[in-house]
């Protein structure tokens, strides 16, 4: 356990909650970062929590067009978060226990729908092809149809 109350296992739980779309659990873990000694991480977590909880889902909209507009706006916010993450100085990306930046990079990569991040994180967390498919449909290709999955 790190001196800040975080561990690699907790970071994995955070990543797993995000890839599984568990927005309340993800927000809880992100709120726990409000006491982290890195002001960069605190600020990033503060901006990431609403992105995770407000991720648009097709079933929330009566028209697919409305969903597409909301998803595009949401992705623009994720791009802003990526820019903020990339601006963190190299020497501030480690809290003395672990490289928190790498974990946050994974999370933002998943939200961006980066194929490499999705596959790597799911594999690291012990997920199988079904979990990759689920994450793929939520973050990479949100308009995929069932017959397109193979």
Residues in contact with 16: Cβ distance below 8 Å, sequence separation at least 6, in sequence order? 125
**Low-confidence winner among 9-18, 27-36, 37-46, 108-117 (lowest mean pLDDT):** 9-18
Residues in contact with 65: Cβ distance below 8 Å, sequence separation at least 6, in sequence order? none
3 state SS of 86: helix
**Residue spans of alpha helices (H) in the chain:** 8-19, 23-31, 39-53, 64-86, 100-112, 115-124, 129-135
d(CA 104, CA 26): 13
For residue range 26-61, list pLDDT tens digits in order: 677 777 777 777 888 888 888 888 888 888 888 889
d(CA 78, CA 53): 13
pTM, to two decimals: 0.78
Share of residues in the chain with pLDDT > 70 (%) = 80
Q: Above 60 in pLDDT, residue 4?
A: no
Q: Above 90 in pLDDT, residue 121?
A: no
């Amino acid at each position: 356990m790190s001196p800040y109350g975080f561990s690699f296992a907790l970071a994995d739980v955070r990543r797993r909650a995000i890839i599984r779309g568990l927005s309340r659990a993800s927000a809880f873990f992100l709120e726990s970062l409000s006491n982290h000694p890195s002001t960069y991480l605190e600020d990033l977590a503060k901006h990431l929590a609403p992105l995770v909880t407000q991720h648009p889902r097709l079933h929330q909209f009566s028209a697919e067009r409305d969903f597409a507009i909301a998803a595009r706006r949401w992705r623009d916010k994720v791009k802003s978060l990526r820019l903020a993450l990339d601006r963190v100085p190299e020497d501030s990306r480690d809290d003395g226990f672990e490289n928190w930046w790498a974990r946050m990079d994974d999370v933002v990569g998943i939200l961006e729908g980066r194929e490499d991040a999705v596959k790597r994180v799911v594999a690291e967390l012990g997920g199988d092809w079904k979990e990759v498919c689920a994450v793929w449909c939520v973050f990479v290709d949100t308009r995929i149809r069932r017959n397109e999955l193979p």
